[in-house]
């Protein structure tokens, strides 16, 4: 009853928030007329993948593609909870139909299951929607969690987390990233678990292997040493930009802020004292000058390819908002520097242990990390070898699924 009340109250708050907050508005508007816009299905074997947002979609994509390759006649359904996932993927999804997940009420869950009736359900990482899981189980679907990662302080293992802990027993099998997750699940009586690793390593390695060039960045970056600030926040920029202005970072720099709204871009421009250009201006006809020191990516969708031209990366979010994707730059051989708040991201500690990543908590430690990596001529090979060793989670999951 508490969970049901919480879901309805959450939906109410989102509707109120939609009057003031653009993201909440997208969440609400994206679910309007939901039942009128879903496809009619007849004699389709539906395989349902649920992703919280864009990061989980990338994490699940290797499994989606592998499944589609082995079972080309199956109907792939992909759902998102967050607008940041759905809005970025809806026009290029690997699924046959991609949509928002309806609010997790019992009525919505039963109606969703009755219409799509998936034979297999995959929840990526660890987002749990209890009513949809129960409805899927009742309908006879096999349910899996892929690339799951659990920590001791997760709600699943708290005294008040019984509803969510019980929901874990609904999964037919759970594929986890680390042995610690398997151990935590075993302590609460869940043993249908396989340590498969993280499918994101397969995804980023696949993307890095693509022969894809950015026609704007490539000529400017040719034969240059490039430092990339990816998914940066004001705290990150405040720490690093003075080193650019003082020419202590005297190489070319790509800055890709996490938020590309005009006030944030203007803030970066105001801080810079060196030659810079905006990516969107070049898209609109302005030439990118070879002597320009800083290129600001003031739009989304370019960063992943920009890492291709880099030598060292700094990834933002580690000063409070949550560390962003450090696997992406590493897939191109870039060592990664990041902020101090990364306990929720086990890969960060793995990078530190492998000496291909460094955490910094002040200006001095950032520049020491940058200088250390810049002097290491073998670091790119070391990073690529690390990524290669981590690949293979998709193969493990697919092999296990064939026997179930």
Catalogue the active-site residues. Answer: 56
Task: Tokens for 87, please give them.
Answer: 């809005």
φ, ψ of residue 227 in degrees (nearest 5): -105, 130
Q: Is 254 helix (H, G, I), strand (E, B) or coil?
A: strand
Rg (CA), the chain: 22
Task: Tokens for 166, please give them.
Answer: 């019980």
Decide if 174 contacts 168 (C-beta within 8 A).
yes
Decide if 252 contacts 293 (C-beta within 8 A).
yes
First to last CA, the chain: 34
Task: Tokens for 206, please give them.
Answer: 């696949």
Running DSSP on this structure, what letter comes out for residue 126? T
Decide if 52 contacts 82 (C-beta within 8 A).
yes
Q: Is 347 helix (H, G, I), strand (E, B) or coil?
A: helix
Which residue, among 126, 155, 142, 116, has the nearest Cα to 6 in the 3D structure?
155
Running DSSP on this structure, what letter comes out for residue 309? G
Which residue, among 343, 349, 334, has the nearest Cα to 379 in the 3D structure?
334
């Amino acid at each position: 009853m508490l969970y049901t009340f919480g879901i309805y109250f959450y939906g109410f708050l989102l509707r109120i928030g939609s009057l003031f907050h653009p993201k909440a508005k997208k969440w609400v508007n994206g679910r309007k007329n939901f039942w009128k816009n879903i496809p009619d299905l007849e004699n389709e074997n539906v395989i349902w993948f649920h992703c919280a947002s864009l990061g989980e979609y990338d994490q699940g994509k290797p499994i989606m593609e592998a499944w589609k390759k082995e079972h080309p006649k199956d109907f792939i359904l992909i759902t998102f909870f967050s607008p940041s996932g759905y809005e970025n993927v809806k026009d290029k999804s690997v699924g046959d139909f991609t949509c928002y997940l309806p609010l997790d009420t019992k009525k919505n869950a039963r109606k969703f299951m009755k219409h799509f009736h998936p034979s297999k359900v995959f929840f990526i990482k660890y987002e749990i929607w209890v009513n949809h899981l129960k409805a899927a189980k009742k309908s006879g679907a096999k349910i899996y969690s892929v690339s799951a990662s659990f920590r001791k302080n997760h709600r699943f293992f708290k005294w008040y987390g019984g509803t969510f802990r019980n929901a874990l027993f609904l999964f037919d099998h759970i594929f986890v990233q680390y042995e610690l997750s398997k151990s935590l699940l075993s302590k609460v009586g869940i043993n249908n678990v396989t340590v498969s690793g993280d499918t994101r390593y397969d995804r980023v390695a696949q993307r890095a292997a693509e022969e894809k060039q950015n026609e704007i960045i490539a000529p400017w970056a040719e034969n240059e040493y490039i430092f990339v600030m990816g998914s940066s926040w004001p705290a990150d920029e405040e720490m690093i930009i003075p080193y650019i202005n003082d020419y202590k970072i005297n190489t070319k720099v790509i800055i890709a802020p996490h938020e590309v709204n005009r006030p944030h871009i203007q803030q970066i421009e105001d801080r810079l004292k060196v030659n810079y250009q905006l990516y969107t201006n070049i898209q609109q006809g302005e030439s990118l000058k070879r002597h320009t020191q800083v290129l600001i990516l003031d739009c989304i969708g370019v960063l992943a390819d920009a890492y291709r031209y880099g030598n060292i990366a700094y990834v933002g979010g580690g000063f409070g908002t949550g560390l962003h994707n450090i696997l992406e730059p590493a897939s191109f051989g870039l060592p990664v520097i990041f902020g101090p708040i990364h306990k929720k991201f086990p890969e960060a500690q793995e990078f530190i242990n492998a000496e291909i990543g460094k955490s910094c908590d002040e200006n001095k430690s950032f520049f020491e990390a940058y200088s250390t990596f810049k002097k290491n001529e073998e670091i790119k090979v070391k990073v690529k070898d690390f990524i290669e060793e981590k690949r293979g989670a998709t193969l493990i999951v697919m092999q296990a699924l064939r026997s179930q």
